[in-house]
Structure 1
Amino acid sequence: MAIIISDDDVRKHLTMAECIEAMDVCFGDFAKGKAKTLPRLRYRVEAPNDPEREYFANVHIGAVPSYGMACVRAGSNMLAKSSAPGRKTTSSPDSANWTVIILYDLNNAEPVAFMHESQLSGIRVGATTGVAVDKVARQDVSELGLFGTGRQARANCEAICTARPCIKRVKVYSPTRRNREAFPNEVPLPGVEIIPVKSPEEVLAGVDIVCSMTNSTTPTFDGNMLKPGQMVISVANSDVTLKRHEVDETTFVRSSDIIINDWDSVVSNRQTELLDLIESGDVQRERVVELGELCTGKTTVKQTEDNIVYYKNNTGLGMQFAAAGSVIYNKMKGEESNKIVPREWLAAEDYP
């Protein structure tokens, strides 16, 4: 039988440290050819009875044998046609997220869980950033500059501070004053001072890590203002439905190394913010490395006092949901309080 894993279950059963470990394993397995995952598939289509919105699908598949789990993440959302310039805005008519994550047992192909997506999606993106910080960032970093105050900003802030507990100060900026002023109370990090600031320039000044976690399609800061010794992290990426440039060309060009999650996704999702610079010769392809290569030790990239290193968290992958979902499932599978889906409801006739 399959169980239902809610957002509350994710909060209860998956810590950021556990998720960082799961991401480290799955990206390492992917680099070795052991884990399997394909670039995400996205598309938009008109909503026939709603002129204010359009349907948006975001599908991921993948499997991680180290966790004995495969996954299909069926992303199902509505987008507002009237989004603010430079933004992509979800707009569900009933304030719900209908995305479903299905976990399959690799030993018998049976579905073992149906998961809510909202909480897990944030933590697995943050945890992947945590892996990059763990592999790349200096051991003495102490200050983080953060753009954004939403779900991804909260998760990535926690992950970065988990990977580098030496961080004692976070400066956060949002163009919306009430969001940046509310942020310190939304991210409880003992021993870390979180300070709202009024401008991008204040975010960048003197920090060791610059992290942009927004839904902006235009650059959130000027790459000319970066200083040697800083690590840059971003999350917004172009795909076949929308072009996004959360980080400017200057940041790409000035970076000694650019770390991504998956090169195939750069190509299939048409992430032109990177592809165009490689084609023009402004960025050399050999400067771009995959995160999994750092997890296996095949490649080493380190933040130093003299370079700028850029981690472009360029895509979500199905294997992330499989690995993190397995951690949660294994904690919950024996609980009597689980909501269940009887096996006979799901098992169709075998092929003749």
Structure 2
Amino acid sequence: MTYPKIDFLYLSEADMVKAGVTEMAGCVDAMETMFKLLKVGDFRMGGSNSNSHGVMMTFPENSTFPNMPTNGPDRRFMAMPAYLGGEFDMVGMKWYGSNTENRQKGLPRSILMFTLNDKDTGAPLAYMSANLLSAYRTGAVPGVGFRYFAREDASVVGIVGPGVMSKTAFDAIMAERPGIKTVKIKGRGKKSMDDFIAYLNQKYPSIEKVEPVADIEQAAKDADIVFVGTSSPTGDISEYPYINEAWLKPGSVVCCPAAARFDDDFILNRARSVADWINLYEAWAEEMPYPAYETIPIPAVRCMDLIADGKMEKSQVDDLGDILTGKVPARRNEDEIIIYSVGGLPVEDVAWGTIIYRNALEKGIGTKLNLWDKPELA
């Protein structure tokens, strides 16, 4: 870049696809590299603790201002800034608005954009469509867990909540354990079930059996991998999707990037709890009113509440980075059941977004836009 002139690259969703955003195996590799950088501290995120998920703006239940939106399911705006070092060495921020009612207009629930910036000047380098970017990095983080925790001979997957998040997570499952032969699916509505089944049939003809099931127990039973990706209202813990220890196969991994509930006795005494980045859950414990699990329904947040209650030791929750760097083993024994919590980090978008941006530059993809040739107020 030749200053003071600033040009930046715009990447539409179609451009992102051309640049490789849907290449799951590469995304899983990028996420593993990112987690190793987190472990050595070569990153920054928001908040006073530098581990914040982001800054969220919500709306009131009622407003005296006629144009102000009011609260509703998933109605929010959020900014997620981060710096990631190492081979990425980049600053970026994801910004999105979300509203469940978008689906009535043929739109996704959330509409996301992502900006990359020069780490020294703050100048924009790229502005890109981020729905696929976010979806694939969200699936790839479970993929890192599947790479280390899932049995090599895994053949059965149980899906609870067949939405977009489960589709990309399943892509990661197949990237890491291509021998999957049976998929059991628990969904709420016929359309989401039909869409998910059609996705599997079209993309993965090697799967021998796709079976809709009536409840979570049937989805979890005999599964080597259980993925819980259903949206759930927060506040009432009893309404979170419940998984009984007795339903789970010895040696299975249960991946929870969304609401999930287990018996405390199981969490405390027999389950292996792994967090993708434990500092994020500690940040939530600081930022959210106690008990944080009422607001953030991910199992590792329940662990934070149990630690606050003096019922659980911090050492009972393993951090993924410690496993990736060899500090602790991926498995302590073949039969342990692993609950793998996935919270979502801004550095994930920076990692995959940086790779896609560099791919686009190399391949001549995207549209160059001009910010200014010379700033009016410098």
TM-score (norm 1): 0.84
The aligned residue for residue 259 of structure 1 is 274
Q: Tell me by how many angstroms 1:63 deviates.
A: 1.9
The aligned residue for residue 133 of structure 1 is 146
Q: After TM superposition, which residue ranges in structure 1, 4 or more long, deviate above 4 angstroms?
A: 50-55, 90-94, 334-337, 345-350
Among residues 329, 332, 338, which one is paired with 1:300 in the alignment? Answer: 329
- Counterpart check, 1:9 vs 2:15: yes
* Count of residue correspondences: 332
Quick check: 1:231–1:303 contact (8 Å CA) kept in 2?
Answer: no
- Counterpart check, 1:95 vs 2:107: yes
The aligned residue for residue 39 of structure 1 is 52
* Distance in 2 (alpha carbons) for counterparts of 1:51 and 1:343: 32
Q: Tell me by how many angstroms 1:110 deviates.
A: 2.8
Identity rate, percent: 23
Among residues 301, 305, 308, which one is paired with 1:279 in the alignment? Answer: 308
Gaps of 5+ in 2: 1-6, 46-50, 234-238, 286-291, 294-301
- Counterpart check, 1:208 vs 2:224: yes
- Counterpart check, 1:150 vs 2:163: yes
- Counterpart check, 1:56 vs 2:84: no
The aligned residue for residue 83 of structure 1 is none
The aligned residue for residue 342 of structure 1 is 370
Deviation per CA, 1:311-334: give whole Å up to 9, x if none: 000x22121111101111111114
* Distance in 1 (alpha carbons) for counterparts of 2:162 and 2:322: 31
Q: Tell me by how many angstroms 1:112 deviates.
A: 1.1
* Distance in 2 (alpha carbons) for counterparts of 1:267 and 1:52: 30
Bigger mean CA deviation after superposition, 276-285 or 115-124: 276-285
Quick check: 1:278–1:285 contact (8 Å CA) kept in 2?
Answer: yes
Quick check: 1:137–1:303 contact (8 Å CA) kept in 2?
Answer: no
Deviation per CA, 1:30-73: give whole Å up to 9, x if none: 10112333312223124742566555122212122211321111
Structure 1 residues 337 and 162, CA gap change in structure 2 (3 angstroms): closer
- Counterpart check, 1:220 vs 2:241: yes
Among residues 227, 232, 252, which one is paired with 1:230 in the alignment? Answer: 252
Structure 1 residues 283 and 164, CA gap change in structure 2 (3 angstroms): farther
The aligned residue for residue 27 of structure 1 is 35
The aligned residue for residue 299 of structure 2 is none
**Partner SS state of residue 333, structure 1:** helix
Deviation per CA, 1:254-290: give whole Å up to 9, x if none: 5532111222321332343232222334433212122
TM-score (norm 2): 0.79
* Distance in 2 (alpha carbons) for counterparts of 1:192 and 1:345: 55
Structure 1 residues 51 and 298, CA gap change in structure 2 (3 angstroms): same
Structure 1 residues 5 and 202, CA gap change in structure 2 (3 angstroms): same
Quick check: 1:138–1:304 contact (8 Å CA) kept in 2?
Answer: no
**Partner SS state of residue 342, structure 1:** strand
Deviation per CA, 1:61-117: give whole Å up to 9, x if none: 21222113211112223466xxxxxxxxx6787836543211123465432111222
Structure 1 residues 100 and 347, CA gap change in structure 2 (3 angstroms): farther
Structure 1 residues 76 and 181, CA gap change in structure 2 (3 angstroms): closer
- Counterpart check, 1:69 vs 2:83: no
What's the Cα RMSD here? 2.7
Among residues 167, 171, 176, which one is paired with 2:184 in the alignment? Answer: 171
* Distance in 2 (alpha carbons) for counterparts of 1:207 and 1:264: 30
Quick check: 2:158–2:227 contact (8 Å CA) kept in 1?
Answer: yes
Structure 1 residues 219 and 262, CA gap change in structure 2 (3 angstroms): same
Residue 71 of structure 1 aligns with an amino acid whose one-letter code is: G
Residue 205 of structure 1 aligns with an amino acid whose one-letter code is: K
- Counterpart check, 1:162 vs 2:175: yes
Q: Tell me by how many angstroms 1:128 deviates.
A: 0.6
Quick check: 2:111–2:131 contact (8 Å CA) kept in 1?
Answer: no
Gaps of 5+ in 1: 81-89, 237-244
Among residues 247, 250, 253, which one is paired with 2:261 in the alignment? Answer: 247
**Partner SS state of residue 75, structure 1:** strand
Quick check: 1:76–1:98 contact (8 Å CA) kept in 2?
Answer: yes
Bigger mean CA deviation after superposition, 22-31 or 56-65: 56-65
**Partner SS state of residue 137, structure 2:** helix
